[in-house]
Amino acid sequence: MREPIRLCRVGGGTLGDKLRLRFSKVGRVKYISHLDLMRTIHRALLRAGVVLKYSEGFNPHPYISAALPLSVGYESICELMDVGISDEMSTDGLPAIITAELPEGLEILEAYTPLRKFNEIAWVEISGVFYYDTSIPPDAVRRLSERFSEGSIVVSKKTKRGLSDVDIAAFIHDVRFFEDQEDEKRLTMNVKLSAQNPTITPENLVSALDDEYIELAPDFTGFMRIEVFDREMNIFR
Kindly list the structural domains of the chain, giving each domain's residue range(s) and its CATH number in brackets, ordered by start.
14-115 (3.30.70.580), 120-229 (3.30.70)
- pLDDT value of residue 13: 43
Mean pLDDT by 10 residues, the chain (237 residues): 41 62 97 96 93 85 92 97 83 90 97 93 97 93 94 86 88 94 90 95 94 93 97 95
Coil, strand or helix at 13: coil
The whole-angstrom separation of Cα 95 and Cα 89 is 12
pLDDT given at position 86: 81
pTM of the model: 0.87
Q: Which of 216, 55, 39, 78 is nearest to 138 (CA)?
A: 216
CA proximity to 71, closest of 208, 237, 194, 224: 224
pLDDT digits (tens, 9 = 90+) for 13-68: 444 588 999 999 999 999 999 999 999 999 999 999 888 988 888 888 889 999 99
